[in-house]
A = this chain, B = another copy of it.
């Protein structure tokens, strides 16, 4: 096998552990000098590849690369840029191959969700057609936990841990205040289509510490009366309760609950913010005092409270991607295969990209409790190991010592330039 360079790119919303996958890729590639020369990274993801704005990771010290393991966000920049189908958009795929060829890139590691799995698959297909050989390996990443085949997605476990811990802490808070003040706390979490993240809020209540927590899933149509009855019941029984609501919750009419709510002073609909809508429903319907929070970027960037399981799996996926490449695999994604629940054991597997691309894994119906406001034992058994273990970053002067790389550019070599449309 002739020695080729590799291109690594981050795609879509970043996570607390996507850089741990990058760390796994780069550290492992550095151990396979016989096969892989340099690892380049796309600056701001695939846009960097298209515009030939590449980063030379070989200029980074071993220490800084190691620090990626505990640094959240996307160290090389990410982007929201979906390549369209091959027929509509052959120009972009051909451009990618042009850049790959100009830089002797033989391995393409694309770190993202369902869309990037699809892009990865198409790059691999086209490279065969065009006669320039590329091994395209997809590395799973998504806080939404919605990729198929893999038991779970790196990035999700840490968000789940953040939401479980925050729900626990805020519920303790509201319990302290409920006698004279706030009785209902509403926490808005991510999840446009699937309720995996909201489900994690339910982990805050355990056999040892029973807490009143109501989950609103995007999978369950919001029913105002049923919801108010549930809250009323919880507050009568416990004196207080917490609500964890997915941003993607919809009414029976199929419209986002968040869209039905807030308007600015000019009457324009406000995007985002289902938490205040739910809090208002509680106030109007039951007259209870409330507080609400929105976890937004904090939840997916919270490396300070990352799940150790998640960090290890993210790193392992990056490492496995390089191993698969070196072994000659193409058009595949390493996966996390659950071997057992108690004790939790997992191993690295692999999936063919044509089985991964464009398939969205929703929460199974039997993970949601019959009343639609909680999780089942089955769901708990699935989720619990994913938030297990702590993996604290090092601190200096009270703050995590996250790394910022030098991100030195690679000299341009392609014969043409390229404008993004």
Contact = CB atoms under 8 A, between A and B. Distances in A.
Nearest to A10: B176
Given A174-B297, A181-B80, A292-B294, A168 B399 contact: yes
A346 interface: no
Of A72, A79, A177, A400, most B-chain CB atoms within 10 Å? A177
Given A72-B169, A264-B261, A295-B293, A78 B176 contact: yes
Copies in the complex: 2
A185 interface: yes
Given A79-B181, A180-B80, A297-B174, A400 B270 contact: no
Contacts of A398: 161, 164, 203, 307, 384, 387-389
A35 B47 CA distance: 72
Given A179-B47, A263-B265, A397-B384, A14 B173 contact: yes
A273 interface: yes
A305 B304 contact: yes
Contact of A262 (B14, B44, B175, B264): B264
B404 A209 contact: yes
Given A44-B180, A302-B166, A307-B398, A173 B292 contact: no
Given A168-B399, A398-B387, A79 B262 contact: no
Given A166-B302, A180-B44, A399-B164, A72 B262 contact: no
Interface in A155-208: 161, 164-166, 168-170, 172-182, 185, 187, 203-204, 206
A71 interface: yes
Interface size class of A (residues with CB under 8 A): 35 or more
Contacts of A270: 262, 276, 280
A176 B22 CA distance: 14
Contacts of A174: 297
Contacts of A164: 398-399
A140 interface: no
A69 interface: no
A191 to B, nearest CB: 15
A402 B262 CA distance: 36
Contact of A291 (B80, B187, B296): B296
Contact of A293 (B44, B204, B294): B294
Contact of A276 (B166, B272, B303): B272
Contacts of A178: 77
Contacts of A384: 397-398
A419 B307 CA distance: 49
B276 A273 contact: yes
A115 B260 CA distance: 40
A159 B400 CA distance: 16
Interface string A275-318: 11100100000000001111111101111110100000000000
Nearest to A180: B79
A74 interface: yes
A421 to B, nearest CB: 12
A14 B169 CA distance: 11
A45, A168, A384 pick with most chain B CB within 10 angstroms: A168
A293 B293 CA distance: 7
B77 A166 contact: no
Nearest to A186: B296
B264 A280 contact: yes
A148 interface: no
A400 B399 CA distance: 20
6 contacts: A71-B172, A166-B302, A173-B297, A204-B399, A293-B293, A305-B305
- For the complex of A and B, the 6 pairs showing the least CB-CB separation, nearest first, are A293-B296, A74-B176, A387-B398, A73-B172, A169-B301, A44-B179
Given A16-B169, A72-B173, 18 more contacts: A47-B180, A71-B172, A73-B173, A74-B176, A78-B177, A164-B398, A169-B298, A174-B297, A187-B298, A262-B270, A264-B277, A264-B280, A272-B291, A272-B292, A292-B294, A293-B294, A293-B298, A392-B392
